[in-house]
């Protein structure tokens, strides 16, 4: 999802039992389904006692009643506190990183990845006639992505990317 969609995630749109998050894509104004990995469900389940009584999964710390979502600056500030400079990573950069790794390292089909990223089909006839969701394949992909990230965290072998200028 895009950073704004993550910040504005609402508990009403998340179904932990079905392992799905359904929301309206801001850029295309279309419904989108995000299959949730086991790890994502665990994180959301542990977060629910803290913010589940309100509208937003990630409410603004400056709004005691949780009526506003966290700001875009909050995500960026978190990256900077972790030591990432503006030349190293942006909040939106996680989408590009996932796109690259899902394709080149984990070997998933580009159309599954593009669908997961909620990119619009470029061909007008494709938009009109393509109603596929590939939910089963995308659920497998998101679980593989979460497992890959867990492997990195645990010290799995990291393959460095070449810097292209």
Cite the active site residues: 2, 29, 92, 95, 119, 129
Quick one: pLDDT band at residue 160, thresholds 50, 70, 90?
low
Chain center to CA of 75? 13
Nearest CA among 142, 151, 115, 148 for reference residue 37: 142
Judge residue 70's burial from the number of C-beta atoms within 10 Å of its C-beta, 0-12 exposed, 13-18 middle, 19 or more buried.
Answer: buried
Residue ranges of E strands in 6-130: 14-15, 20-24, 31-35
* Residue 159 located in a structural domain: no
Quick one: pLDDT band at residue 121, thresholds 50, 70, 90?
low
Query: Left if phi > 0, otherwise alpha if psi is -120 to 50, otherwise beta: which for 44?
Result: alpha
Quick one: pLDDT band at residue 142, thresholds 50, 70, 90?
very high
As given in the structure block, the two tokens for residue 37 are 């990995």
Backbone torsions φ then ψ of 23, nearest 5 degrees: -155, 170
* Residue 161 located in a structural domain: no
Does residue 91 surpass a pLDDT of 90?
Answer: no
d(CA 88, CA 84): 6
CA dist list (Å): 2 to 8, 23, 44, 150: 10, 12, 18, 21
* Residue 40 located in a structural domain: yes
Long-range contacts at 80-89 (CB < 8 A, ≥ 24 apart): none
Q: Range of 80's domain?
A: 3-153
Q: Which pLDDT value is given to residue 104?
A: 93
Tens-place pLDDT, residues 59-85: 998 886 778 999 988 988 988 999 988
* Residue 120 located in a structural domain: yes
Tell me how many domains the chain contains.
Answer: 1
* Residue 58 located in a structural domain: yes
Q: Which pLDDT value is given to residue 157?
A: 66
Looking at every residue in the chain, the average pLDDT score rounds to 85
Q: Which pLDDT value is given to residue 129?
A: 43
CATH assignment of the domain containing 70: 1.10.443
Q: Which pLDDT value is given to residue 161?
A: 62
Please tell me the least confidently modeled range out of 86-90, 117-121, 134-138: 117-121
Backbone torsions φ then ψ of 41, nearest 5 degrees: -65, -40
Q: Which pLDDT value is given to residue 80?
A: 92
């Amino acid at each position: 999802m895009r950073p704004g969609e993550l910040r504005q995630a609402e508990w009403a749109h998340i179904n932990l039992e079905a392992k799905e998050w359904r929301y309206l894509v801001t850029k295309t104004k279309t419904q989108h389904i995000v299959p949730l990995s086991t790890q994502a469900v665990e994180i959301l389940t542990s977060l629910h006692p803290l913010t589940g009584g309100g509208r937003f999964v990630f409410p603004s710390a400056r709004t005691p009643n949780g009526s506003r979502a966290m700001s875009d600056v909050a995500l960026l500030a978190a990256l900077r506190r972790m030591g990432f400079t503006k030349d190293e990573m942006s909040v939106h950069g996680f989408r590009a990183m996932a796109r690259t790794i899902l394709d080149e390292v984990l070997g998933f089909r580009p159309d599954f990845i593009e669908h997961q990223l909620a990119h619009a089909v470029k061909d007008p006839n494709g938009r009109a006639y393509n109603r596929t969701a590939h939910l089963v394949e995308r659920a497998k992909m998101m679980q593989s992505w979460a497992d890959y990230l867990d492997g990195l965290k645990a010290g799995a072998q990291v393959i460095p990317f070449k810097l292209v200028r």
